[in-house]
Structure 1
Amino acid sequence: MLTPIWQRYFEALAIYLDNGLNATIPLTFMLGFFVSFVVSRWTLILRGLGWIDNAAIVFATFIKENDDDSRMLKRNLIRYMVLNQALVLRDISMQVRQRFPTLETLVAAGLLTKPELNKLRKIDDIYSQYWTPIQWVNGLLYKAHLEGKIKSEKVLDSLMKEVQIFRDGISSLLRYDWVPIPLVYPQLIFFANIPNTKIE
């Protein structure tokens, strides 16, 4: 593939990297740092997956009425949070994208209604679409407070904090997707694993 002169340049570079890499770069330190970085990143991604349980327990604890409106309120709060999670994960996970290839599949799965779908479609910016369900959650919570289903502003604040914690976890997933591990670290691992072979 390379011309003869570029072949010589490439061979010279390969010989230099083969002979001098350990002398100029502390590979053990760099490999340790890389492994530590990858493991901590994986841990933070796992934490950011958006566990709905805490919010669901808090909603069930503080919205005590069991009439149809209150049950529907709690159900919609959780549905909107799961919808938020699905919207984000569709764009960063191939498995979720295969499960929900279009917004209509979210309607079919019961995470979104057709009127809500129309509202989402009116939002041009896809990143603003991610957080629209969280706005709906906050709107429902505030309305429930005005209607007396949430008894005090302190309780309302606690509920909104749970929603914010959930949103922060989901937004951290987006940041990890948008900003990959710096290229120098995977390249270093690649060079460290090159077997010691002579170039003829």
Structure 2
Amino acid sequence: MKFAFRRKFEALCRMFNEYTRLIPLTFLLGFYVSNVVSRWWRQFESLAWPEDLLTMVSMIVRENDEKSQKRRFAIARYINLSSALVWRDISKKIRLRFPTVLSLVEAGLLTEKEYEVLQEIEEDCETVRWMAPLHWIQHLIVKEEKENNPPAAFINNFMTELRTYRQSLRKLFCYDWVCVPLVYTQVTALATYSFFFFTLFGRQVLHSEVEAGRQIDSIIPLFAVIQFMFLVGWFKVGQDLMRPFGLDDDDIELNYILDRNFKTSFAVVNRLHTSDCKFQESELKKIAKGFP
């Protein structure tokens, strides 16, 4: 009876080992993780960086009087404000830092009067609040054009950059709204765990194979364990990268990027705008000696 049961068990193990080869696990995992990683990277590429916009601002608002400085500062603040409004809706870390829009007033990104305007906009239409600062920027540029008449080419280039900036923020909203279909993750998870359930039996060291000298009597199926670590780890990578703006240590650190953008913005419209280096003829002679 015991011998007959062992023969049936070995036959079952051989059958499981044979049929696990029919599960296209490598194809499923490769396609799944490839889509998730490419989606994760596209979201990082969609993050808005203010340097190009503010470089154009420095060329449009060129004066160094108090009015022009305030105008440049306001544009820099509005650019970062629009990013903060979008990022706090898609990132848990930014949401914890700015739990309410009123907290942006305390951070210096928003004035109380502007906060009231945003609240009125939110009551009328919930989806356009983040675009309001970008429209305020357009109004400031129109005022600058009427008062100081900057070159039209600069205005056109600036509006093109502003549109690109707006599109990048909108892409982040779309990525947060439309996720990888849940059924795809479920199918991949089912295939992965089913594969290793059958592998648990199919990779058993069989007594008859050991007696025939075709297998070594090892207690632990080492290569099955290594395969489990690789494939399940591969699947976990896809799951971890599904939400790049979460609370994990490996998620994209939007708090750092927001702080960096804020400091860089005011450096561009202040320090870089007012610090011109005067070229001296002696420097030209040094360059000529260095490059004969």
Question: Could you say whether these structures have the same fold, taking a TM-score greater than 0.5 normalized by the shorter chain as the test?
Answer: yes
Question: Is 1:84 aligned to 2:82, yes or no?
Answer: yes
Matched with 1:122 is 120
Is this contact kept in 1: 2:59–2:154, CA < 8 A? no
Task: Tell me the CA shift for residue 77 of structure 1.
Answer: 0.8
1:19, 1:54 → 2: CA distance?
59
Task: Tell me the CA shift for residue 139 of structure 1.
Answer: 1.2
Q: How many residues align?
A: 180
Flag the structure with more relative contact order, 1 or 2, with Cα contacts below 8 A and sequence separation at least 6. 2
| 1:46 equivalent among 39, 44, 47 | 44
Matched with 1:144 is 144
Task: Tell me the CA shift for residue 65 of structure 1.
Answer: 1.1
1:140, 1:104 → 2: CA distance?
24
Matched with 2:191 is 192
Task: Tell me the CA shift for residue 152 of structure 1.
Answer: 2.4
Is this contact kept in 2: 1:142–1:156, CA < 8 A? no
Matched with 2:31 is 33
1:106, 1:76 → 2: CA distance?
15
2:130, 2:18 → 1: CA distance?
50
Aligned to 1:193, the other structure's residue is in SS state helix
Task: Tell me the CA shift for residue 182 of structure 1.
Answer: 1.3
Segments ≥4 residues shifted beyond 4 Å: 18-22
2:185, 2:87 → 1: CA distance?
25
1:44, 1:182 → 2: CA distance?
17
Matched with 1:110 is 108
Is this contact kept in 2: 1:45–1:173, CA < 8 A? yes
Using a 3 Å threshold, how does the CA distance of structure 1 residues 76 and 196 change in structure 2: closer, same or farther?
same
When Rg is computed on C-alpha atoms for both structures, the one with the higher figure is 2
Matched with 1:65 is 63
Task: Tell me the CA shift for residue 20 of structure 1.
Answer: 6.9
Q: How much identity, in percent, do the aligned residues show?
A: 36
The two structures, once aligned, show a CA RMSD in angstroms of 2.2
Question: TM-score w.r.t. structure 2 length?
Answer: 0.57
| 2:96 equivalent among 91, 95, 98 | 98
| 1:55 equivalent among 53, 56, 64 | 53
1:196, 1:34 → 2: CA distance?
20
Aligned to 1:110, the other structure's residue is in SS state coil
Matched with 1:6 is none
Using a 3 Å threshold, how does the CA distance of structure 1 residues 153 and 191 change in structure 2: closer, same or farther?
same
Using a 3 Å threshold, how does the CA distance of structure 1 residues 122 and 196 change in structure 2: closer, same or farther?
same
1:21, 1:144 → 2: CA distance?
70
Using a 3 Å threshold, how does the CA distance of structure 1 residues 19 and 169 change in structure 2: closer, same or farther?
farther
Matched with 1:178 is 177
Aligned to 1:126, the other structure's residue is in SS state coil
CA displacement 1:16-49 (0-9 Å, x = unmatched): xx997864x6432232222221121111111111
Using a 3 Å threshold, how does the CA distance of structure 1 residues 22 and 176 change in structure 2: closer, same or farther?
farther
Matched with 1:4 is none
Using a 3 Å threshold, how does the CA distance of structure 1 residues 22 and 55 change in structure 2: closer, same or farther?
farther
Aligned AA (2:135): Q
Aligned AA (1:147): E
CA displacement 1:100-158 (0-9 Å, x = unmatched): 1112111111111111111111112221111111111111111111111x512221111
Identify unmatched segments of 5+ residues in structure 1.
1-17
